[in-house]
Amino acid sequence: MSGISVIIPAYNREKLLPQTLESLLRQTFPAEEIIVVDDGSTDRTATVAESFGKPVRVIHQKNSGPAAARNRGFLESRGEFIHFFDSDDLALPNKHEVQVKILRESGADIAYGPWIKGCMSDSSFVPENQILQQRGLPKDNLIKALLTNWSIVPHACLFRRTIVEKIGGFPKELFVAEDQLMFLRCLLAGAWVIHSPHTLELYRTNDPGKITASNAAAKSRHAREWARFLLMARDECLSHGIDPKSWFGFRSRAWQAVNDLEKSSLDCSDLIESLASLYDQSNPLIGYAFNRLFQQKRDGLVQRITGGRAHPYFRIGKLTEVQRDGITELFS
């Protein structure tokens, strides 16, 4: 199959999934298949997905987490291009058309487009701030950016099948930041990432089921998994002759991860010890605290000037007319 396969892991998403699927079915470049991996849902997620008929199809598995669900969907897919999408987010109608065209014309492995956070209903979208990656990708080395002051969202990307096969999909041992480690592996494997402007992904923030929910248990779980990601990421880099410990931003993240773990309700003494070894000899502790405060002040100033709050790596910008029209069409 030379077209697009969309892969959506879904757990208890019967209420949100229809709007997500409708945004994909309205694409100007239709997907050949939309694979919903029902990850052990206890509600009507599978029934709702099956009601759409072709090109939507459902795969059932016991609850195994988002990485395992994405990997299962990928193994069952056939497309030349792979769109890993979240079950609660939306894509503007030109998403696939824009990104397939740029991948075919450039020969790149991954197209990464703009995305924006916001609160959604069936009939409206209220943006949280300005658009991320609106003005391109980080100008710095992407590996350094990813491990210091940047992060990615896979649903804003379109992957060539070959790069996903090359790196073996998503790491099943992580339940948070598995997408970050997958993307890192792509970069370490030499993936060419290209920016694809003029489309937009809408990232839903009003979803209490997200792992980033504000309850204490979710915060503790996120802190633990993020700490594991940092350690695994360093090991991956070391195997390619790169030590992210040499970057202040990475050491600062390790310091912050230790602070978050110490505030959590989990016993993570081994993780704390391992992370502390990444920064305790390289810089006075006050340097990390000062850097954290400086970033907060800088982000606040940027927000007052531009209306957006994000590190410069995210290259924020304002809505274009094409994007504004796309949002209007999506909610019409």
127: left (phi over 0), alpha (psi -120 to 50) or beta: beta
pLDDT of residue 225: 94
State the DSSP code for 88. Answer: T
Task: Specify the CATH number for 4-210+317-330; select among 3.90.550.10, 3.40.50.1110, 3.40.50.2300, 3.40.50.720.
Answer: 3.90.550.10
Cβ(35)–Cβ(59) below 8 Å: yes
What is the residue-wise DSSP string for 22-48? HHHHT-SS--SEEEEEEES-SSSHHHH
Give ranges for CATH 3.90.550.10 in the chain. Answer: 4-210+317-330
Over residues 69-89, the pLDDT tens digits come to 999 999 999 999 999 999 999
> Which of 47, 220, 287, 249 minimizes the C-alpha distance to 143?
249
Over residues 116-169, the pLDDT tens digits come to 999 998 888 988 878 999 999 999 899 999 999 999 999 999 999 999 999 999
Q: For residues 228 and 12, what is the distance between their CA atoms, to the nearest angstrom?
A: 26
pLDDT of residue 129: 75
Q: For residues 223 and 178, what is the distance between their CA atoms, to the nearest angstrom?
A: 13
The whole-angstrom distance between residue 298's C-alpha and the CA centroid of its chain comes to 24
pLDDT of residue 211: 41
Which phi and psi (to 5°) does residue 206 adopt? -90, 60
Which of 25-34, 258-267, 274-283, 319-328: highest mean pLDDT?
25-34
Cβ(157)–Cβ(115) below 8 Å: no
pLDDT at 299 over 70: no
Residue labelled with tokens 């391992």: 274
Sign of CA dihedral 140, 143, 148, 154: positive
Percent of the chain with pLDDT over 70: 88
Over residues 164-186, the pLDDT tens digits come to 999 999 999 998 999 999 999 99
**In DSSP terms, which residues pair with 84 in a beta bridge?**
7
pLDDT of residue 288: 63
Please count the residues of the chain.
Answer: 332
pLDDT of residue 297: 63
Higher per-residue confidence, 79 vs 269: 79
The mean-pLDDT minimum among 2-11, 225-234, 302-311 falls in 302-311
pLDDT at 283 over 80: no
- Under the banding of pLDDT at 50, 70 and 90, the label for residue 212 is very low
Cβ(183)–Cβ(109) below 8 Å: no
**In DSSP terms, which residues pair with 115 in a beta bridge?**
132, 201
Q: For residues 49 and 52, what is the distance between their CA atoms, to the nearest angstrom?
A: 6
Rg, C-alpha atoms of the chain: 20
pLDDT at 2 over 90: no
Would you say the pTM of this structure is higher than 0.85? yes
pLDDT of residue 292: 64
- Under the banding of pLDDT at 50, 70 and 90, the label for residue 209 is low
Q: For residues 318 and 134, what is the distance between their CA atoms, to the nearest angstrom?
A: 7
Percent of the chain with pLDDT over 90: 71
